[in-house]
Structure 1
Amino acid sequence: MTTLSAPPQPRESRLKGFLTSRPVQKLRRNKLAMVGLLISLLFVLTAFFAPWIARPSTEAGGNCLRDLNLSSPTQIYNPANPGFWQALFNAPDSCYSIERESFAPTPVPPNPQAVFGTSQGYDIFYGLVWGTRTMFKLALIVVSITLLVGVVIGAISGFYGGWIDNLIQRFIDVIFALPSLVLTIILVTFLRARNPGVDPSFPIILAYTVAGWASYARIVRGEVLRTRQLEYVDAARSLGARDWRLIMKHVIPNSLASVITIAILDLGTVPLSVAALSFLGLGFPTGYAEWGQLVDFARAWLQPAYWYVMVFPAAFIVLFSLGFNLFGDALRDAYDPKSR
């Protein structure tokens, strides 16, 4: 007797399964989340296409074009030219120097040469667009390093417990006892004083890593304390899996949901802190494309006649923070089991 078996059902692709999952469906129904995602994507595109949006010119120095081996600004749109790809993926430092239209301290209102006007002679539009790229680079580097350090230390603390957990948690308590901004300012000042010729981004990245990893570590520790007691971890241990294999393959991947949402929120807050450092004079050199400097330039011209020196930088900063916070909050709610 022949038994007819049912034809095999096509396996659902991982992408389709992800797009139809409950958290993603919840995100798609959240209009504020979609608004935040759209704003964030606009800033991502602005950062990536900064050489096209705020094209370097020959009138304001031309050092960026020279370092890109370009003789005219229009060549930056030509994919056949190596400078096209270098500007997109590895722009030289000279491209991050805000183009200076004049040396007059008095702001100049928006005009065809500087569509957002000038502040201290610097082109506000050029500084904001290239400053978006600066902010994204710093935010991605800082969040990636702090997340990695925090996840590893938090996983070790939660998995082993005992005196190791107690030692790490007391050290974290010491870090939390200090205001993060004050700790960052102290570290940046110390590192810059000890290394006067170093890349200005290095003290900022190191200071934010030291001040920021503890929050990730504490969140991951709490998740690991819950995860390490589950059955699949005991099953892997009974099969002879070593501690590091248990931590890296089983414990950490199942403890990342909450910490990833915090990392996305931090992508929107780290640039604001960096801008605050530049406003205090502890950031990048004068003239570097960075939002905090443009706010600092506007400090002496807070008058209705010079509204543009503050309105445009403030709008970039507020929208950037708003976009990531809207999307990050919605993402946290979508992946929070208590909200399901």
Structure 2
Amino acid sequence: MTTTASAPLTVREKSRWQLFWSSPGVRKLRRNPLAITGLIVTVLFALMALFAPLIARPTGNCLRDLGMTSQSQIFNPLGAPFWKGVLAPPGSCYKMERVSFGQEPKPASEITDTFAPFGTVNGYNIFYGLVWGTRTALKMSFIIVAITLAIGVIIGTISGFYGGWIDNLIQRFIDVLIAMPGLVLTVVILTILRAKNPGGDPTVPIIIALTVGGWAGYARYIRGDVLKVRQLEYVDAARSLGARDWRLMFKHVIPNSLTTVFTLAVLDLATIPLSVAALSFLGLGFEPGYSEWGQLVDFARAWLKPAYWYTLIYPAAFIVAFSLALNLFGDGLRDALDPRSR
């Protein structure tokens, strides 16, 4: 009797992308229709911001600073104006298109000399301000959240890792920051910074004002995770092998403590445009005529009449849609990354 040896079974290794796509968290996220809807809307806003020069074509000084003689040149991907407008537009492009100098709003049906489907307010093209304002909202959101997240992670990790008087000192300072009303603290800091440079670019002062108190929440959350992670066996094993404290924190502790603060950062991306819009509404934000959603809401305040509904509805719709989309995605991401909900 003869026996035949069967061929060994070959196990096909999965790529990193396949492992990521089939992971429990991603599978749960994919089964959440609200989270997917929020992600799709957020991606649409990101595409609108990226291709703002193609959607709301440059005019006036923006046209000149991009080195163009006609608006049609922006659609040529082989030309330098296309890439400069998409990747690094000059500051003049963020100035809203001025259709007229009349203060009274005009609906789209009364405007024939330019593309203004949402009408005008104070002579400014609402459509242009909303499209380029999307780029402003995303830029400010990611810069502020990135800075506050980095500061909060570092300070919170030091607080939770070392404990003792260091932890007590940092936490009492955080208590003082959290006890202050966030908007009041931001307004005070921004007023001081703007007083030193009146009429200047408010971008850096706004970032500093929103960053001063913004990192405290991240620091408190990551401290709680670090207190748990630092007691685990692999951290003790790395310490026994002679790993220094900074190596332990940045290689072993922080990567395994970021789940909570990462989901909080996604949720905070939705609140930053609201804060910037509130500052512009109070007269502490960007100068009049800058493409920013809060500017348009501030312009609409003087025209709250049924006949001028478009001056408020369109900016409010953009703000609500942007914030709601990121909140839906952030909530779904939090549920997907929480092992207790699987």
TM-score by length of 2: 0.95
- In 2, the alpha carbon distance for the partners of 1:229 and 1:193 equals 48
Deviation at 1:5, TM superposition (A): 8.9
Q: How does 1:251-330 map to 2 (within 5 A)?
A: 251-330=253-332
- In 2, the alpha carbon distance for the partners of 1:22 and 1:162 equals 37
Matched position secondary structure for 2:234: helix
Which of 101, 104, 126 in structure 2 is aligned with 1:103?
A: 101
1:185 equivalent in structure 2: 187
1:49 equivalent in structure 2: 51
1:219 equivalent in structure 2: 221
Which of 146, 154, 160 in structure 2 is aligned with 1:152?
A: 154
Question: Counterpart of 2:37 in structure 1: which amino acid?
Answer: V
2:337 equivalent in structure 1: 335
- In 2, the alpha carbon distance for the partners of 1:19 and 1:80 equals 36
- In 2, the alpha carbon distance for the partners of 1:300 and 1:212 equals 32
- In 2, the alpha carbon distance for the partners of 1:198 and 1:231 equals 53
Deviation at 1:56, TM superposition (A): 1.4
Say whether 1:78 aligns with 2:76: yes
Question: Counterpart of 1:185 in structure 2: which amino acid?
Answer: V
Question: Counterpart of 2:170 in structure 1: which amino acid?
Answer: I
Farther off after superposition, 229-238 or 6-15: 6-15
Q: How does 1:6-85 map to 2 (within 5 A)?
A: 6=8, 9-57=11-59, 62-85=60-83
Q: Measured at CA, do residues 181 and 74 of structure 1 come closer, stay the same or move farther in structure 2, by a change above 3 Å?
A: same
- In 2, the alpha carbon distance for the partners of 1:161 and 1:196 equals 43
- In 1, the alpha carbon distance for the partners of 2:108 and 2:230 equals 60
- In 2, the alpha carbon distance for the partners of 1:221 and 1:251 equals 11
Deviation at 1:7, TM superposition (A): 5.4
1:88 equivalent in structure 2: 86
Deviation at 1:336, TM superposition (A): 1.2
Question: Counterpart of 1:289 in structure 2: which amino acid?
Answer: S
TM-score by length of 1: 0.96
Deviation at 1:219, TM superposition (A): 0.5
- In 2, the alpha carbon distance for the partners of 1:237 and 1:141 equals 35
Deviation at 1:339, TM superposition (A): 1.1
Deviation at 1:197, TM superposition (A): 5.4
Which of 121, 124, 134 in structure 2 is aligned with 1:122?
A: 124
- In 2, the alpha carbon distance for the partners of 1:125 and 1:85 equals 22
After superposition, the C-alpha distances for 1:140-168 in whole angstroms (9 at most, x for unaligned) are 10000000000000000000000100000
After superposition, the C-alpha distances for 1:66-101 in whole angstroms (9 at most, x for unaligned) are 000011000011112111101001000000000110
- In 1, the alpha carbon distance for the partners of 2:182 and 2:335 equals 26
Question: Counterpart of 2:130 in structure 1: which amino acid?
Answer: L
Deviation at 1:8, TM superposition (A): 5.1
Question: Counterpart of 2:104 in structure 1: which amino acid?
Answer: T
- In 2, the alpha carbon distance for the partners of 1:25 and 1:12 equals 16
Deviation at 1:110, TM superposition (A): 1.4
Matched position secondary structure for 1:141: helix
After superposition, the C-alpha distances for 1:250-298 in whole angstroms (9 at most, x for unaligned) are 0000000111000001111101110010000000011000000100000
- In 1, the alpha carbon distance for the partners of 2:55 and 2:87 equals 15
- In 2, the alpha carbon distance for the partners of 1:282 and 1:308 equals 24
Matched position secondary structure for 1:252: helix
**Gaps (5+ residues) in structure 1?**
none
1:165 equivalent in structure 2: 167
After superposition, the C-alpha distances for 1:20-59 in whole angstroms (9 at most, x for unaligned) are 11111111111111111111111111100100000113xx
Deviation at 1:10, TM superposition (A): 2.7
Equivalences, count:
334
Q: Measured at CA, do residues 194 and 217 of structure 1 come closer, stay the same or move farther in structure 2, by a change above 3 Å?
A: same
Note the aligned Cα RMSD (angstroms). Answer: 1.3
Question: Counterpart of 2:71 in structure 1: which amino acid?
Answer: P
Matched position secondary structure for 1:338: helix
